[in-house]
Homo-oligomer: A and B are copies of this chain.
């Protein structure tokens, strides 16, 4: 009967374990905490909150400043979350437009493709630097959450793999 929570809704419930939050705050929290491997938009947050409120998994509190509408998790919400996290997680999906471009690379002048690649490489370097800084901060502050470190380490490993791939590309591709 607890109609199978989706991962986005479940994550919101996860964050609400820390106390009531508004849709805005939830969206911001999600962006920083799980945004690197689970994208969601504000629209989606509000929709999930509304439908979870209907289902009794969260409760809307009094509107505060600026129409801010806090939501609190209910007992039913905790139960639904517990049920969700106990289920086998599905496998990941990646959508990588740059690989499409590479895949159809024969239809593009090599310099153009090279320009795209170098722009993306720079962006990934940036992201790696960001992750490394996060890790330094976490290690310095000592109170490192192991679970957060695990996901952060995934980000590091991923970005390093991507950069390594960029570096091998010239040998793999025509016109390299």
Give residues in A with beta carbon < 8 Å to B: 7, 10-11, 14, 17, 33-34, 36-39, 81-82, 85-86, 88-108, 112, 116, 119-120, 123, 146-151, 153-154, 157-158, 160-162, 164-165, 168-169, 172-174, 176
Q: Are A17 and B97 in contact (CB under 8 A)?
A: no
Number of copies: 2
Nearest Cβ on chain B to A164's Cβ, whole angstroms: 6
Nearest Cβ on chain B to A57's Cβ, whole angstroms: 15
9 A-B contacts (beta carbon < 8 Å): A7-B97, A10-B100, A37-B96, A81-B107, A92-B94, A102-B151, A153-B165, A153-B168, A157-B164
A82 / chain B contacts, CB cutoff of 8 Å: 107
Residue among A36, A99, A149, A164 with most chain B CB within 10 A: A99
With contacts A85-B101, A101-B89 taken as known, whether A95 is within 8 angstroms of B173 at the C-beta atoms is no
